[in-house]
Amino acid sequence: MYAVVRTGGKQYRVSPGDTIDVEKLPLEVGDTIELDEVLLVANGGKAKVGQPLVEGARVKATVTRQAKGPKLIIFKYRPSKRYRRKIGHRQHYTRLRIDEIVA
């Protein structure tokens, strides 16, 4: 069984036991969350596609970690103007463990 959920403007294909990194959510480690924006639920050969969401479907998950992603370097450069800017960025993520899919 798997589902496609939407959170943080992105879509994720999840199954029970999976771990995914999503955009930062305002939760503590150990908290549970219900993702109710379920776009598709598939069980075996049968799939239920929402228009746009599947009625009554939700995914239960547990927060396992609040972390930062890898550092990205942003370098701006203008050759003949002596303009150089080097900036680093690390995106904040929330790691979720998928516990259950309720269809």
pLDDT tens for 15-56 read: 999 999 999 999 999 999 999 999 999 998 899 999 999 999
Q: What percent of the chain has pLDDT over 90?
A: 97
Q: pTM of this prediction? A: 0.84
Contact by Cβ (8 Å): 97, 64: yes
Is the pLDDT reported for residue 103 higher than 90? no
Rounded-to-integer distance, Cα 62 and Cα 96, Å: 6
Rounded-to-integer distance, Cα 89 and Cα 45, Å: 43
User: How many beta carbons lie within 10 A of that of residue 62, not counting itself?
Assistant: 15
The alpha-carbon radius of gyration of the chain (Å, integer) is 19
**Banded model confidence at residue 8, pLDDT cuts 50, 70, 90:** very high
Q: What is the mean pLDDT of the chain?
A: 96
Structure tokens, 92? 């904040």
